[in-house]
Amino acid sequence: MANGPGQQTFGPDDHSEQPREAFGRAGVPVRPEPGGGSSPVGRARVRPVMPDDDAPPQPEPARTGRRPTAKALKSVKGWSKRRKILLSSFAALLIMMGVGAIVFTYYFDSVDGITPDKLPKSQITRIMASDGKQIAQLGTENRIDIDVAQLDKKVIHALIAGEDKDFFEHQGISYTGIARAAFNNSTGGERQGGSTLTQQYVKQATQNMEMSVSRKLREAVLARKLEDNYSKDQILGFYLNTVWFGRGATGVEKAAQAYFGKSAAKLTYEEAAVLGAVIRTPEPDYLADGTIDPNGNKGLDPEINPEAAKDRWGYVLNNMVEKKWLDQGERATAAYPKLIPRAQGTTSAEWGIKGSGTGNVINYVYDELNKMGIKRSDLKTGGYRVTTTIDSRMQTIAEAQIRKQLKLGKPNLMSALVATDPATGRVLAYYGGDDGTGHDYAGLNFEGGKPTGGHSPGSTMKVYTLAAALTDNISLKSTWDAREIKKVDATHPYTVKNAGRKDSEVARYCTPTDCSLETALVRSFNVPFFYVTQEIGPDKVIKTAQAAGINYLWDNDSVGYKLADQKGDWGRKPFDYPVGYGQYGITVLDHATGMATFANAGVYNTPHFVLKVEQHQLDGSYRVLPQFNEKLAPEKRIDAEVANEVAATMQEVVPTHNGWALDGGRDSAAKTGTWERGKTADNAHAWVVGFTKQIAVAVWVGNKGDELALKYANGDQINSGNMPGDIWHNFLNEASKGMPKLALPDETGTVGSDSRGNGVAPPSPSVSPSVEPSTSSSPEPEPEPSKSPSPLPIPSPSPSKPKIILPTKLPFAP
């Protein structure tokens, strides 16, 4: 049966079930085509199929090539008019039933757990540096509450004029709005909610987005009860602090920042009208790939849909004039405000974790607050302001120095730096990479259920060995055989070199058979520290390192051991004599902590990241929560005389490297160290650690993944005297500016016996070693590791020993 253009005919089979196919956003009927084909019949709204006894009068079937009769058309028009009357009557009935239901349920419905004081009001948590600079934000919802009393009256009126201009006149329910919505929804018009701001708040707060009569009734009940128990200003505050504005912002305070870069308290009424317009449809429809759907709703963000946004802005201002909130003159002179770019204004509820040098700090904040009683989920919703120990100036210096140096090297390079305050344990700067969700090169990780993160410290480990020796009554003046140890047989399996320097080179600084422990540390000779460790035992070196602040050691197979878990002596497994000169891995954070203990005369402070915790209040202020604030607990871990002698000896290292002295003659102490890559001459790890009286610093340079040769882009080898040394010196020099110059201990030779050691004096005084400072800035590579322990004969120890106080617990233990 043929049809004229734009016509739709009804035949005997028009009410039979027809196949349907998707067309645009809705299904449409498909009618048979001549020849057995089918095609969609436009986008017109289609009436639902009705049973024959309820069907409206139908025109006679049109004959081929002829239009319906006038009588048939009149019958259809009559039915359409009656249909609208019936639907309108039905809508009115719904309204009356709804009002009755509201009255009935008001007295019987319970709102326990849904009242405003109990509804969830998630607010972001701000993570701050110690100097007030925000470094991160945590949250599931990007919102900060604000007291509406801080907002200008015109601003408030502009925010609500587009959505509920009668807000101050109704009692939570707009019956005319419900009627209009019911009629439109029932007659096929634009779907409307008919909700007041009070109802919108209830819907948002209860997260009930279902579009149904039961939901609307419950909204109305709760809205009416809210109006009975709270003032208009309070309800307005509930609404404005929970409504979604787009650009990642929930609530007017974050919206003002996202659209105008200012607090809501500083908005003009023209700017507030933009936000009041946006509320209706803040964001466009997006496709799965994140792009805007060209066939979907465009939203009312002025950058995406400027014409519609400005029209809606005008509508808001006109409503303000209608309510006499704005006079005609102000309306006439109102100018559409300038907004900040969407890319700049759009903020996530969570940032500062990825792509930030302080991203790893957040993990320590989580850990510390969790131990104090604030769970991670609570931290993301509780509206806290956490002030960390991080000094933003020092953090900036650390990151700048590391990035500058890494640009000079090959792509595989990575570096980490930790700086702490020796007097308190506060972590002042921390860099272990730019991804707080990835591997932290400065601290402890748990990957695959196993602890990772240790780097072979090389000669920097000797400071703990020296402290262990002093504690065991071995003095700095004791002398030791510094000649290279060569592997002979299974009884003597070690080959230990002085970082690649021959005995003739050792002779520049001491008699190779009779080298003082002090010279061995300053010049970084390994052989004497092998003998020292053999004499006192690896266990004493490990326990001294633990007392100073080393939590974990990693063996040759990269298995990490939590030192606090060991009961009794370690013996020689899994850590043997090479522990004395740095074969086994430690973390940068632990090493910085150990340096801080020596800088602080043997007093240990737990390294920590949280200074103060506050919680946001409605008036914009923050209330201090003292139960979560910093609590210092210094512990005497190493005898002061021992710690001071270590510090004094480390000061002698600084002048051996050109350009390492700090500005103004500020006292500083340092120790260098490298460790080779397998049995090659290439370095895989390079360190410099040390301190002033106010700052302890550990710097490591290594690899991002597999251990590769540390090389500059031009192929030169990286060792402790160049890249890590430059980072360490430049950081400490810049970070110390403005601080008072405090002296470090400089007296040595007061602890231990000079007679300890296996050194043998030369038979004649013909050997006169040279002890002048080296002009080279390239310290030694470290010796190759060995896994086969065997003792060598050396003198037995003497009994008199200062005491090491071992910790009962260590920081950051999982």
In 3D space, the residue among 145, 142, 144, 146 whose CA is nearest the CA of residue 352 turns out to be: 142
CA distance to 360, 416, 438, 439, 449, per residue, from 445 (Å): 11, 14, 9, 7, 9
Locate tokens 């809705």: which residue? 26
Positions of E strands within 174-293: 244-246, 249-250
Check 392, 459, 720, 736 and give the catalytic one: 459
SS (H, E, C) 666-713: CCCEEEEEEEECCCCCCEEEEEEEEECCCCEEEEEEEECCCCCCCEEC
List CB contacts of 721: < 8 A, sequence separation 6 or more: 657, 672, 776, 777, 778, 779
**Structure letter (DSSP) for residue 163:** T
Alpha-carbon gap, residue 594 to 101, rounded angstroms: 72
Of all helices (H) and strands (E), which one includes residue 447?
strand 445-447
SS (H, E, C) 598-656: HHCCCEECCCECEEEEEEECCCCCEEECHHHCCCCCCEECECHHHHHHHHHHHHCCHHH
Q: Is 89 a catalytic residue?
A: no
SS (H, E, C) 402-438: HHHHHCCECCCEEEEEEEECCCCCEEEEEECCCECCC
154, 269 in Cβ contact below 8 A?
Answer: yes
Alpha-carbon gap, residue 38 to 163, rounded angstroms: 45
766 token code pair: 């013909």
Helices 392-406, 723-735: crossing angle, 10 deg rounding? 160
**Structure letter (DSSP) for residue 562:** E
586 token code pair: 């430690």
Q: Is 784 a catalytic residue?
A: no
- Paired with 346 in beta bridges are none
- Separate counts of helices (H) and strands (E) for the chain: 22, 23
Please give the biggest Cα pair distance in the chain: 137
In 3D space, the residue among 579, 566, 558, 569 whose CA is nearest the CA of residue 463 turns out to be: 579
Three-state SS at 22: strand
Alpha-carbon gap, residue 144 to 234, rounded angstroms: 16
113, 371 in Cβ contact below 8 A?
Answer: no
In 3D space, the residue among 664, 633, 690 whose CA is nearest the CA of residue 742 turns out to be: 664
In 3D space, the residue among 206, 226, 209 whose CA is nearest the CA of residue 106 turns out to be: 226
Helices 306-322, 153-160: crossing angle, 10 deg rounding? 120
In 3D space, the residue among 573, 512, 569 whose CA is nearest the CA of residue 546 turns out to be: 569
618 token code pair: 């409605």
Catalytic residue list: 163, 459
